[in-house]
Structure 1
Amino acid sequence: MRARRAARRTRPKSAAAITVLILSAMLAGCTSVPRTTSAGRWQPKPGSDWQWQLSGRLDPTVDVPVYDIDGFEHDARAVADLHRRGRKVICYVSTGAWEEFRPDAGKFPASILGKGNGWPGERWLDIRRRDLLGPLMESRIEMCAKKGFDAVEPDNMDGYRNRTGFSLTGADQLRYNRLIARIAHRHGLAVGLKNDLDQIPQLEADFDFAVNEQCAQYDECADLTPFIEADKAVFHVEYEVPVARFCPESTRLRLSSLLKKYDLGTWRRSCVASPSAE
């Protein structure tokens, strides 16, 4: 498995950083019950503990109710094994950037590939071309569904704030992000809004949870409150801030917060005291 790059991938050098559910019987005496939406999708609640592992050999033994893993690099057996262990499983895929190392890389027309996004082998996508990107992303998300994942974490969802090589607007981003949400829902999957803090007020209703990187480091965690107020989980990671500095505020805000190393391997420190989401 290739090493996952560090955070702030979609808003480098800017004030906003980049960055389910549970249900297991807990240590503190209360038990949580899996929630689904009226449409039958999984709905992770605030406070759900989780593991985010995008590099190294998958360790399925972390005692948390939610795992977020790479959708291409893990097969249905890995997902089924996590399910047997009582985990819900989120499928990481990039929806806003082309990756030369993915098996479907050759299906992306050169005309929609923009500037590099700062990571080797990756280029921004022209999200205005929903006619071309829609079928490609449908295939990726369908892959997640066929492997048995419960949800999707679509990455690189705020290209309009970056130098992509295209004249992207906030309206372009809203239309594209909503397209991704509709595709995920069509396949019965929950979907998370990755970063894109500035558009949370417009997009919260379209997404089932949020994923955020480094909101504590950049003093932005309160921007995620609309998800919490809607009873939706916020899966949050820091890389450079000690847990003693960000966990008290994360707990107050009811975020599902971790300290991770930049490679997003197995190592983690959690602010969540127990796996209960209730």
Structure 2
Amino acid sequence: MLLSLIFLSFLSGSFAVYRPSIGDVFQWQLQVDDNHPFDYSMHADLYDVDLWAVTPQQIAAIHAKGAKVICYFSAGSLDNNRPDAHLFHSNDIGNKMDGWDEHWIDIRSSNVKSIMAKRMDLAKSKNCDGIEPDNVDGYDSGNAHIGFSFHDQLVYNRWLADQAHARGLSIGLKNDVGQIQQLHSSFDWALNEECHDYDECMEYQTFLDEGKAVFNVEYVNSHHVSSTKQQMCTRNSPTGMRTQFKVWDVTSWVWRCPNQ
């Protein structure tokens, strides 16, 4: 009942969901441990950090300097290192993700949705301003032996957006380039990985046309961005997209394209 009331409040306009502005400075750090502490000292308009790694005290400190916090979690895969991993049922779990020690999960499962709702509740309780749900394109990324479809992915991603908004949380569309045209109106901003390498950056014009921020991350193997890589800053990008370079572990190190 409470959730229904929250959702109705959102529909009536009681919640002002945060929406990053085009041109905002985005800082993304997912690797947070003893060797890589969360660094929120640098200038950014919004910090995107792991949901379990960030503390309420750190979020309060970020808010005190006028910035926002986006909390990351995977909405499409099981990582056994997460504290709620035991909540997944065996029939929720699909095949291993290529290149990662995680498994795809069945987004049609009511239990999976219950787990994701709890994750959004945690984000809300920590006072995150928004969420970045990852791996929301499993229909197109090797979910063989699970069998969910393009349509199932649309239903699930819209459900995530509705649930985030019901809690007053902003939500970004992570990758899922093939469904931008169907999903752009449900999401508040977008985050893309390696659209330059896949020649997909112009697909995000739809978000920008609606005044919604688009952040692009390209990867490098060390704290160095070659002149060839730097050409991505001015090549085949929609006006307004902000591109930055990160190492694969997504530590605090960042190299941002100048003049964006």
The TM tier, using the shorter chain, reads 0.7 to 0.9
Identical residues among aligned pairs (%): 37
Letter in 2 for 1:253: T
Partner of 2:7: none
Whole-Å Cα distance in 1 between the matches of residues 235 and 26 of structure 2?
18
Runs of at least 4 residues off by over 6 Å: none
Residues 254 and 57 of structure 1, relative CA distance in 2, 3 Å threshold? same
1:137 pairs with one of 110, 113, 116: 116
Partner of 1:260: 246
Once the two structures are superposed, the pairs formed by residues 91-102 of structure 1 within 5 Å of their partners are 91-102=71-82
Deviation per residue, 1:115-171 (Å, 9 max, x gap): 111355411001122x22221111001101110110100000000012222112100
Once the two structures are superposed, the pairs formed by residues 226-241 of structure 1 within 5 Å of their partners are 226-240=206-220
Deviation per residue, 1:68-110 (Å, 9 max, x gap): 0000111111111111122111000110001100110001111
Partner of 1:61: 41
Q: Number of matched residues?
A: 237
Residues 199 and 86 of structure 1, relative CA distance in 2, 3 Å threshold? same
Structure 2 SS opposite 1:142: helix
- 1:222/1:253 contact within 8 Å kept: no
Letter in 2 for 1:108: F
Partner of 1:157: 136
Deviation per residue, 1:175-227 (Å, 9 max, x gap): 01011111111110000111000100000011001110000111110011111
Partner of 2:158: 178
Whole-Å Cα distance in 1 between the matches of residues 207 and 153 of structure 2?
19
Q: Tell me the TM-score normalised to structure 2 length.
A: 0.86
Residues 215 and 102 of structure 1, relative CA distance in 2, 3 Å threshold? same
Partner of 1:271: 257
- CA-atom RMSD, angstroms? 1.8
Whole-Å Cα distance in 2 between the matches of residues 84 and 249 of structure 1?
37
Whole-Å Cα distance in 1 between the matches of residues 15 and 259 of structure 2?
31
- 1:192/1:211 contact within 8 Å kept: yes
Residue ranges of structure 2 left out of the alignment (5+ in a row): 1-12
**Greater Cα shift, 233-242 or 151-160:** 233-242
Structure 2 SS opposite 1:81: helix
2:67 pairs with one of 65, 68, 87: 87
Whole-Å Cα distance in 2 between the matches of residues 255 and 154 of structure 1?
20
Using CA pairs below 8 Å that are at least 6 residues apart, which structure has the higher relative contact order? Answer: 1
Letter in 1 for 2:140: R
Q: Tell me the TM-score normalised to structure 1 length.
A: 0.81
Partner of 1:146: 125
**Greater Cα shift, 240-249 or 45-54:** 240-249
Residues 151 and 250 of structure 1, relative CA distance in 2, 3 Å threshold? farther
Residue ranges of structure 1 left out of the alignment (5+ in a row): 1-36
Residue 39 of structure 1, CA deviation: 3.9
Greater helix percent: which structure? 2
Partner of 2:56: 76
Letter in 1 for 2:135: N
Whole-Å Cα distance in 2 between the matches of residues 168 and 252 of structure 1?
32
